[in-house]
A and B are shown apart, each in its own frame.
Chain A
Amino acid sequence: MDRRNFLKTAGVLTGSVVVTPGIYGKLFARSSRYINENFDLVAIKGGEPDIMFDEAIKQLGGMKTFVKKNQKVVIKPNIGWDVIPELGANTNPKLVSRVIQHCFNAGAKEVYVFDHTCDDWRRCYTNSGIEKAVKEAKGTMVPGNSESYYQEVTIKNGKKLTKDKVHELILSSDVFINMPVLKHHSSTRMTINMKNLMGIVWDRGYWHRNNLHQCIADFATYERKPHLNIVDAYNVMMKNGPRGVSKADVVVMKSQILSTDMVAADSAAAKMFGAEPETVPYIKYANEMGVGKMDLNSLQIKRIIL
C-alpha cells in the first residue's frame, strides 16, 4: 500500500467514525474521557439508585473499565439484617440488580452475590429483597454463613489483625465489587466501605475484642481490595444503626458514591452523613496506613446533581 492510498483510507475511516454517531463513536468518546479526566471519585444525587448508577459508572468509563469478558465477578452488598429495604439497613435491591446487569453487559461470565449476615441469612436474603433482585438480574446468590466457605489469609500490614478467614469467592473471583449502604453504626459511628468488609470474613468477634477500629483499618490493607466501591446513600439510616428500629431513623438522601479508593469513598460518605472523616477512627487509621486518601481536596471528584 502506498502512502497516498493509506492516507485516503485512513481519512475515510476517520471521517466515517466522526460522522457516524454510532456505537464506535460513543466508545471512543467514553474511553477518551476516562483517559482525560480520570476521576478518583464520582458523587451523584437526585435520582433513583439504578439511574444514578448508570450515570455515575459512565464517568469511570463504564463497567468495562472493571469487568472484562468472561470474568467472574463477586459483589458484596450489605445484607446484614432481616429487615425490609425501606429501613436502609441493607443495600438497595434496585441498585444491586442494576450493577449485576452492567457486569453482564460488560461480558461477565458469572456474578456472585453474598454476605456473612448478622441475622439468619436466609431471612436476610429474602426480606432485604436482594435475593429476588439478584435472581431477576440472573446473578447467583451464594450463602455466606458457613465456616467451610472461608479460607485463611494473612494480612501482612495488619497491626492487630494479622490473619483472618475470607470467603472463597472473594479470593477466587476476578473482580470484587464492594457495595455497602451508608448508615449509622452504634459503635463504629457509621458503616461504609471498609466496615462492609466485615461481611467477607468469618470471625468478627476477634475484631470486636481486639480494637475494632484498628482491625477494620488493618483488613483494609489486605491485598485483595475491592476493584470498585459503590456506596448506596439513597435511604440513609441516621440513628439506631446498624440495624435500625423504624423508618423515622431514615433520611432519604438519594445519593451514591463510586470510587476505587475505599478511604476516599468513606470520607466523602462521612461528610454526607454530617461527620468529619477524621472523627471516625478507622478512616483516620486507614488513611495513616496508606490504604487511600482521606483528604478529598487532593482528589479528582466528579459531582453530578440530577
Chain B
Amino acid sequence: MNTSLLRKIRIVLSILFIIPTTFVLVDFTRILPESTINWIIYFQFVPSLIKSITLFSLITTGFILVLILTSLFGRVYCSTICPLGFFQDMINFISGKIKKKKRRFIFKKEQKILRWTLFAIPVIIFLFGSSFGISLLEPYSIYGRIAGNFFRPVLIGGNNLVSSILESYKIYWAFPYEIHAFNPVPFAITALFFGLVFYLSFTKGRLFCNTVCPVGTFLGFISKYSFYKIRIEKDDCLNCGICAKDCKANCINSDEMSVDMSRCVGCFNCVQSCPTEGIKYQFALPFKKESNPVFDESKRNFLVATGIYLASFSTIIGQVKKKIVAKKESTIPIFRQNAISPPGSTSIKRFNSRCTACHLCVSACPTQVLQPSFLEYGFLGMLQPRLDNYAGFCNFECKICSDVCPTGAILPLKLEEKKLVQLGKAKFVKENCIVETEKTDCGACSEHCPTKAVHMIPFEGKLLIPEVREEYCIGCGACEFACPTKPYKSIYIEGNVIHQAAKLNLENAGPQKQVDYKEEFPF
C-alpha cells in the first residue's frame, strides 16, 4: 500500500470520529435522537465494555470490534477512534507549529511499572465495586469532561452572543442557553486533567497514552501480538533515526532497529517520514520473538494496598453530609442523607460501580438536573452525576439519560416504567413553609408534582398546605426545585439508596367526563 496513504486514511478517519463524538458531548440543542448518540459512542472501548457486563446487546459490541481491530492492526484505536487521542494530536500539531520543529521526539524507555500500576489501580478499584479509578483515567470520559466543562461553555457563550444580537432585531430562532449550576470541584479536577493532558501532549507527544492511559496499556498489550505491525527492514534502513524523531509515541529505537508495538499508536508518521522505505507497516505473525510483561509479587501487593487505601477514603468522606445552601429567611437547615442517582441506575451502589463520569448524560439532560458530584456519593463517587434539585428537576416525560448512557450505569427504561421509579422520597419541612410562616397560600411544590404525591390539604381556615404521600412520590425533585423558601427549602428529596417502585395513584383513573353544553350558562 502506498505509504503516505496510511497516514491520510488515519487523519480522515479520526476526523470522522471526533466531530460527531465531540458534538454529542457539547450539544445543548438536543438535536440528535438518542439512538444516534448510542451509535456515535458505539466504538468507545471502556463504556461499551462496562455496559456489556450488565446489558449485552448489539449496541454494546463495540469493544469486541475494537479488540479484533487491535489484534489485527495494532493500537489504531488510539489514533482514530479515541477522542482524547485526537485531542492530543491536535495539541501536538499546534506545539509543532509553535516550536517550528517537526522532528522533535526521541526514543524513550517504556515506563513499565508506572504503566501497569496505573492500569491495575482502576481495575482493582472496579473489582472492589467502584468505577472511580476508571472514570479518572479512562480517555473517553476524560475527553467527555473536558468537552463538557470547557468546549461546551465556549459554544454556549458564542450561541448566547449570537442570540442576543439576533434578539435585538426581534429574530428568535436562536435562543440563549442558561447554565443553571457550576460545580467548582468537579470543574477543578477536570481542569487539572486538562492541564496534565495538555502539558504531556504539548511537550512529550503521546506520553499520556503510553504511561497513564489504562486503555492504551491494555490495547498495547494486545498490539504486541497483532497481525500487522510497524517493522524496520534491516536491509533498507539507513539508521538515520528520522523515524524515531517523528514518533510522537517515543517507541522507535532506531539504534536497535526495534519498534515497541505496545506503545505504537498507529499514526503512521514514521512510515511516511522514512527516506528509503526502511520502516513499513506489514503483516507479521503474532507471538514472534515477543515476551510477556512480567508481573512481580511486590508490585501486585502495592497495588492492592493502594486500592484499599483509596477505598477507605470513601467510608470516611461518605460521612460528610451535603448541606443544602441558600441565602436567607427559612430556619430549619436541610441535610440530605443520600444523594439522588438518575432513573435507571437502580441503586447508588450499582451506579457508583458502573459510571465513568463521561458526563454525556449531563450534556444531554434537558433540565440540567444532572450535575457532576463532589462528595455527595462519597469520595469514590466523585464526578459521577447526581440529581441536583437546585439546578433543575427530573422531567416526568423524559428518560434521555437512560437512553444515552454509554456504560449502562444508567440502564435503559421504558417511559411508563420510568414514571414509577422512585429515586427518593419528598420530605416536607413544615416549619420552613410559607403557608406556616407567612399564613398565605403558596403551593408551588404541589403545582409541579407530576403524580400529586404532594397535594394540598385545608389548613387554618381557608388556607391550603402541602402534604406528602410518599407511596406516590417518584423523587423527581420538581417540588424541591419549585419551593420558593430561602435559604432552606421547605420540601426536599431524600435519595433512595436502592430505587423503589412508586404506587400508581388510582384515584386518578376513570373515564373522562362531558357536560351538557346545551345547558344555560351559570351567569
A interface residues (Cβ-Cβ under 8 A, vs B)? 43, 45-46, 82-83, 110, 112, 118-120, 122-123, 127, 140-143, 145-149, 172, 185-188, 204-206, 208-214, 238, 240, 242-243, 245-255, 267-268, 271-272, 274, 281, 296, 301, 303, 305
Contacts and interface: CB of A to CB of B under 8 A. Distances in A.
Contacts of B514: 251-252
Contact of A187 (B366, B397, B443): B443
Contacts, number: 151
Contact of B447 (A123, A210, A214, A243): A243
26 contacts: A46-B517, A119-B396, A120-B395, A143-B172, A143-B176, A148-B164, A148-B167, A172-B170, A185-B447, A186-B446, A186-B452, A186-B464, A187-B442, A187-B443, A209-B484, A211-B441, A212-B443, A214-B440, A243-B448, A243-B449, A246-B509, A248-B510, A251-B514, A268-B521, A271-B523, A305-B520
Contacts of B455: 186
State the 9 A-B residue pairs at the shortest beta-carbon distance, nearest first.
A187-B443, A205-B484, A248-B510, A143-B175, A186-B446, A211-B440, A208-B484, A146-B176, A245-B508
B391 interface: no
A245 B504 CA distance: 11
A209 B456 CA distance: 17
A300 to B, nearest CB: 13
Interface in B443-500: 443-444, 446-452, 455-456, 462, 464, 482, 484-486
Given A249-B508, A250-B512, A186 B523 contact: no
A187 B505 contact: no
B30 interface: yes
B450 A245 contact: yes
B176 A186 contact: no
B269 interface: no
A210 B435 CA distance: 10
Contacts of B178: 145-147
B441 to A, nearest CB: 5
A120 B508 contact: no
Contact of A251 (B440, B442, B446, B512): B512
Interface in B313-354: 329
A53 to B, nearest CB: 16
Main secondary structure on chain B at its contact with chain A?
A: loop
A187 B441 contact: yes
A142 B441 contact: no
A92 B7 CA distance: 59
A296 B444 contact: no
Contact of A301 (B367, B482, B510, B523): B523
B513 interface: yes
Contact of A141 (B160, B167, B172, B438): B172
B68 interface: no
A146 B397 CA distance: 22
Given A123-B395, A211-B440, A245 B452 contact: yes
B515 A251 contact: yes
A209 B395 contact: no
A187 B464 contact: yes
B172 A140 contact: yes
Contact of A271 (B30, B441, B449, B522): B522
B518 interface: yes
A206 B484 contact: yes
B442 A212 contact: yes
Nearest to B456: A186
A126 to B, nearest CB: 10
Interface string B275-317: 0000000000000000000000000000000000000000000
B434 interface: yes
B440 A45 contact: no
A51 B170 CA distance: 32
A4 B303 CA distance: 116
Interface in B377-420: 395-398
The CB with the most chain A CB atoms within 10 A, among B160, B164, B167, B486, is that of: B167
B511 interface: yes
Contacts of B451: 245
